[in-house]
């Protein structure tokens, strides 16, 4: 008999006795990355820009149509600059009742900014998204998962309820800072489509493009692991990548596969946050707590230096 894999924390009671939760999230980056990576000549990268703008122009409406046909709501993480550039796509998301969450202003990297600059861009994007969506976002994902030592405190001070960039658990857990707590809805690179399909030579992301069949083998294996432990699994997809017609056929089959199981909660980030916060408040779930930042300074063991330095080449 095969032994079960032990859950790393007490399993969460999911709604309606479901065995596990699957959250669908999409990072709608449009062409922000190329403008931040190549501020002086991004305008000359016409083909790359067009491929990234496929996300808001073609991918998002296709994603909304598909998920809505199953009565499902998803979460879109949107850099505010992309929302300003593509207000029509924000309207489409709002119309479908989907969540719109914070993903930086122009996909800038929090960990390469000072605390003050990170706070400035976080507030600027928050105000812009609130103006464009009619709702103040309560969820955040760091661009490229590039979370900084200060992000938890900045978000807690601004009243965010959850964030979704870190990889420290299978189940939702708590990030604790001196400024307050945040719920973490963890991610993992294996649930992303960037490493399966992203091929952008102009900004040095050159992945060998996988077949959708291969990508969904990876996603299915990851889902099955979480299903076995009664856990939480989150998809992080990009409309300019997953929104291509060939890949959307596999998205449709995958949704049907999950629905057929009958005991999987297909949902989005804000619904998971609402549910888990309710359980914590009622004393029905005690999440693991990570104190942030994980390390406040570089952790060097001096006597190891002579062993480690040669390995760095």
- CA gap 204, 167 in Å, rounded: 24
Of 143-182, binders to Zn ion (CB under 5 A) are: 143
What stretch of H or E contains 139?
A: strand 139-140
Reported in sequence order, the residue ranges of 264-308 that DSSP labels E, i.e. its strands, are: 264-267, 289-291
To the nearest whole angstrom, how small is the minimum distance from the Cβ of residue 176 to Zn ion?
A: 26
Nearer to Zn ion, 235 or 258 (CB): 235
To the nearest whole angstrom, how small is the minimum distance from the Cβ of residue 145 to Zn ion?
A: 9
Nearer to Zn ion, 174 or 193 (CB): 193
- Are 177 and 189 in contact by the 8 Å Cβ rule? The answer is no
To the nearest whole angstrom, how small is the minimum distance from the Cβ of residue 44 to Zn ion?
A: 22
Stretch that binds Zn ion, among 22-30, 63-71, 248-256, 291-299 (CB under 5 A): 22-30
> Pick from 50, 22, 273: which is nearest to 141 by CA?
273
To the nearest whole angstrom, how small is the minimum distance from the Cβ of residue 72 to Zn ion?
A: 22
- Are 265 and 21 in contact by the 8 Å Cβ rule? The answer is yes
To the nearest whole angstrom, how small is the minimum distance from the Cβ of residue 237 to Zn ion?
A: 11
Of 69-108, binders to Zn ion (CB under 5 A) are: none
Closest residue to Zn ion in the complex (CB): 27
- End-to-end Cα separation, the chain, in angstroms: 47
Nearer to Zn ion, 143 or 172 (CB): 143
Nearer to Zn ion, 33 or 174 (CB): 33
Nearer to Zn ion, 27 or 108 (CB): 27
> Pick from 171, 119, 123: which is nearest to 149 by CA?
119
Residue selected from 20, 22, 28, 29 as contacting Zn ion according to rule CB under 5 A: 29
> Pick from 91, 23, 22: which is nearest to 56 by CA?
91
Nearer to Zn ion, 137 or 231 (CB): 137
Nearer to Zn ion, 27 or 163 (CB): 27
Tell me phi and psi for residue 267, to 5 degrees. -155, -165
Stretch that binds Zn ion, among 19-27, 157-165, 185-193, 242-250 (CB under 5 A): 19-27
Stretch that binds Zn ion, among 28-36, 49-57, 205-213, 259-267 (CB under 5 A): 28-36
- CA gap 265, 288 in Å, rounded: 22
Stretch that binds Zn ion, among 27-35, 87-95, 109-117, 209-217 (CB under 5 A): 27-35
- Are 20 and 226 in contact by the 8 Å Cβ rule? The answer is yes
- Are 12 and 64 in contact by the 8 Å Cβ rule? The answer is no
Residue selected from 12, 18, 26, 27 as contacting Zn ion according to rule CB under 5 A: 27
Q: How many residues bind Zn ion (CB under 5 A)?
A: 3
Position 192 contacts Zn ion (CB under 5 A): no
Helices (H) and strands (E) in the chain, counts: 13, 12
Nearer to Zn ion, 143 or 287 (CB): 143
- CA gap 20, 35 in Å, rounded: 39
- Are 140 and 160 in contact by the 8 Å Cβ rule? The answer is yes
The 109-148 contact track toward Zn ion, x by CB under 5 A, reads: ----------------------------------x-----
Structure tokens at 237: 């997809």
Rg (CA), the chain: 20
List contacts with Zn ion (CB under 5 A): 27, 29, 143
């Amino acid at each position: 008999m095969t032994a079960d894999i032990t859950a790393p924390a007490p399993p969460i009671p999911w709604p309606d006795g479901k065995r596990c939760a699957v959250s669908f999230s999409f990072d709608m980056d449009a062409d922000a990355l190329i403008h931040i990576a190549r501020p002086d000549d991004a305008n000359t990268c016409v083909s790359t820009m067009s491929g990234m703008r496929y996300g808001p122009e073609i991918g998002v409406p296709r994603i909304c149509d598909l998920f809505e046909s199953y009565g499902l709501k998803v979460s879109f993480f949107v850099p505010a600059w992309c929302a300003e550039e593509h207000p029509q796509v924000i309207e489409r998301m709002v119309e479908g009742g989907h969540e719109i969450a914070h993903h930086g202003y122009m996909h800038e990297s929090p960990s390469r900014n000072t605390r003050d600059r990170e706070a400035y861009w976080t507030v600027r994007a928050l105000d812009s998204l609130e103006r464009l969506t009619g709702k103040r976002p309560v969820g955040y994902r760091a661009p490229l998962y590039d979370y900084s030592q200060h992000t938890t405190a900045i978000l807690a001070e601004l009243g965010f309820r959850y964030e979704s960039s870190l990889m420290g658990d299978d189940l939702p857990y708590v990030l604790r800072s001196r400024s307050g707590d945040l719920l973490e809805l963890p991610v993992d690179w294996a649930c992303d489509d960037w490493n399966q399909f992203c091929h952008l030579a102009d900004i040095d992301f050159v992945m060998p493009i996988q077949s959708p069949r291969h990508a969904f083998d990876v996603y299915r294996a990851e889902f099955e692991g979480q299903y076995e432990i009664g856990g939480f699994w989150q998809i992080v997809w990009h409309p300019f990548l997953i929104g291509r017609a060939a890949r959307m056929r596999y998205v449709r089959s995958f949704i049907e596969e999950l629905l057929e199981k009958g005991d999987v909660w297909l949902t989005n980030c804000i619904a998971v946050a609402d549910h888990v916060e309710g359980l914590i408040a009622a004393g029905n779930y005690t999440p693991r707590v990570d104190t942030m930042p994980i390390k406040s300074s570089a952790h060097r063991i001096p006597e190891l230096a002579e062993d480690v330095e040669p390995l760095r080449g």
